[in-house]
Structure 1
Amino acid sequence: MNTVKQRIAIVGAGGLGREVLMLLLQINQATPKWEIVGFYDDAPSAHPTICGYPYLGTVDHLNDTETPLCVAIAIGNCAAKTDVADRLLSPLLKFPVLVHPSVLCNPEQKNHFGEGTIICQNCILTNNVTLGRHVLLNLACTIGHDAVLGDFCSLMPQVAVSGCVRLGAGVYGGTNSTILQNKKVGDFTIIGAGAVVNEDLPSYCTAVGVPARIIKQTA
Structure 2
Amino acid sequence: MAITKILILGNGPELRRVLSVLESDPEKECVGCVFWKVSDPSNEAIDPSLGMHFWRGTAETLQELIAAQSAKVAIAISSAQERWKALSLLNSLSIIPEVLISEGASVDDNVIIGAGSVIHQGVILEEGVRIGHGCLLLPGSRMGVGSRCGDACIMESGSQVEDMGRLGDEVHLGTRTVVLSERIVGPRSLILPGSIVTSDVESGVIVSGTPASVIESSTFSE
Q: Which amino acid aligns with 1:149?
A: C
Does residue 67 of structure 2 align to residue 66 of structure 1?
A: yes
CA contact (8 A) 1:49 1:55 kept: no
TM-score by structure 2 length?
Answer: 0.88
Return the alpha-carbon distance in structure 2 between the equivalents of residues 63 and 49 of structure 1.
26
Q: Would you tell me which structure has more helix in proportion to its own residues?
A: 2
Q: 2:31 aligns with which of 33, 37, 62?
A: 37
* Kept after mapping to 2: 8 A contact 1:165/1:180: yes
Q: Give the equivalent residue in structure 2 for 1:194.
A: 194
| Contact map agreement 1:69 1:94 (CA 8 A) in 2 | no
SS where residue 86 of structure 1 aligns? helix
Amino acid at match of 2:80: C
Instruction: Note if contact 2:107-2:124 (Cα within 8 Å) is conserved in structure 1.
Output: no
Deviates more, 1:94-103 or 1:137-146: 94-103
Work out whether 1:131 is the aligned partner of 2:131. yes
| Identical counterparts, % of pairs | 28
CA displacement at 1:13 relative to structure 2: 2.5
Matched, 1:140 2:140: yes
Deviates more, 1:183-192 or 1:41-50: 41-50
CA drift of 1:104 comes to 2.9
The alignment covers a number of residue pairs equal to 210
Contact 2:22/2:29 (8 A) holds in 1: no
Residues 50 and 13 of structure 1, relative CA distance in 2, 3 Å threshold? farther
Structure 1 unaligned regions, length at least 5: none
- Aligned-residue Cα RMSD (Å) equals 1.8
Paired letter, 2:67: E
3-state DSSP class of the match of 1:18? helix
Cα 1:49–1:71 shift into 2, 3 Å: farther
Runs of 4+ in 1 over 6 A off after TM superposition: none
Deviation for aligned residue 1:69: 2.3
1:101, 1:40 → 2: CA distance? 24
Structure 2 unaligned regions, length at least 5: none
Cα deviation for residue 160 of structure 1 reads 1.0
Q: Quick one: which of 10, 19, 24 aligns to 2:8? A: 10
1:78-119 Cα deviation digits (max 9, x unpaired)? 11111122112334x33121111122335xx21111111110
